Amino acid sequence: MPTNPHLGDPVVSPRTGVVGACLLAFAIAAFDVAMPGLQFVGLLVAPPFLAAALASYRATFAVGTLCFALGAALGMLDAAAFDPQQVLRLAAILVFTALAAWLSMLGDRTSKRVATLSKLAAVAQQAVLRPLGPRIGTMSVAVRYVSANAEADIGGDLYEALSTPYGTRVLIGDVRGKGLEAVRLASSVLGSYRHVAHERVDLRAIVADLDRAVARSVGYEDFVTACLVEERGGTLTVLNCGHPAPLLLRRGSVIPLEPPSPAPPLGFLPVVRPRVERLEPGDRLLLFTDGLAEARQDGEFFPIRERAWRIAGHGTVEDGLTSLVNALRGWVHGVLDDDIALILLEYTGAERKPDAPSAARPAWEWDPITGD
């Protein structure tokens, strides 16, 4: 059964396909009766192929049987039931019905195989991308993964949010490429991050650890764009490695948190400089992969910076992401070119448990709050 590869919904139901094929067969028979001087019986080979494209092989056989019966009836009306040409036409209907049913059977097997692979891919990706929220530390959290292809729901976008002794830390990234290799690399990056995020005070040390993890796992042309965010005591620190800048939504305005200087993706030895902002209660932070920034309608990119507050600045963070996904799908008419990972955070300003004692921090590591 064909599906819309971007939305995953059936394009035409099997029942509609069978009804259409039967109507086509009756229309051909009606034309043959209405125009005695012309022979339309040969066209009865077409309805089985229409049924094969949309329905099962059993339904295809049923449509072929109907076409054979109509062809035989038309031959009897012409008083030429045993005419050699009529016999040849009926034989052609049987042969083409068998061929259409065989093609339909192959299609059914392929569809089942694709469905199985899609389920396996979804399980693999869900094992890599754990559910987040609804709250981590002082932040309310909502996340969405929007797949560009429902039949291959697997890609290299990654995300994680953790409550650590050094604050709430969030990672979002995008692996170059698709498929199981991309998921394998995403898994490697996330595994390293889940370990070092609890061990390293300096965010730049985490970036260095992740860069080594990528370098060990890929070739020279592979890389991972990434953005690492930390909220600690109301101070937001952003490190960006070739990734789209997060958007800070504050009191009706949208502030792109561009890095002080660009840095290459993980895998290319990035040297990053932090972007530091002081948060206010109610501030929201939208993190996303480049599939959102590159979503296009008639060549025009989705205006996320202009619309971010109007779409995602109200209601709960879950409401905000739901509105954003709906607006995005409306903009591209349901056709996405790339997978998209979305994280929406809201700083509540509530008190947290005390962070780890400062004495536990090595003297050489950088403190994002004091700058020392």
Helix (H, G, I), strand (E, B) or coil at 261: coil
What is residue 98's predicted lDDT score, i.e. its pLDDT? 86
Closest to 266 measured CA to CA, from 160, 174, 364, 339: 174
Averaged pLDDT score across all residues of the chain: 81
Q: Which has more pLDDT, 41 or 206?
A: 206
CA distance 336 to 328: 9
CA distances from 69 to 17, 30, 76, 246 (A): 20, 14, 11, 66
Whether the upstream peptide bond of residue 262 has omega within 30° of 0, thus cis, is no
Torsion angle in degrees (nearest 10) through CA of 269, 209, 188, 275: -70
This prediction has a pTM of: 0.66
What is residue 101's predicted lDDT score, i.e. its pLDDT? 82
Question: Cβ contacts of residue 296 below 8 Å, gap of 6+?
Answer: 302, 332, 337
CA distance 222 to 215: 9
Q: What are 169's strand-pairing partners?
A: 162, 230
Which tokens belong to 140? 């309310």
Superfamily of domain 129-360: PPM-type phosphatase domain (3.60.40.10)
Q: What are 249's strand-pairing partners?
A: 254, 284
Is the pLDDT at 57 greater than 60, yes or no? yes
What is residue 336's predicted lDDT score, i.e. its pLDDT? 82
pLDDT per residue over 303-359, tens digit each? 999 999 999 999 999 999 999 999 999 998 878 878 899 999 999 985 544 444 443
pLDDT per residue over 58-90, tens digit each? 888 888 888 888 888 877 766 554 567 777 777
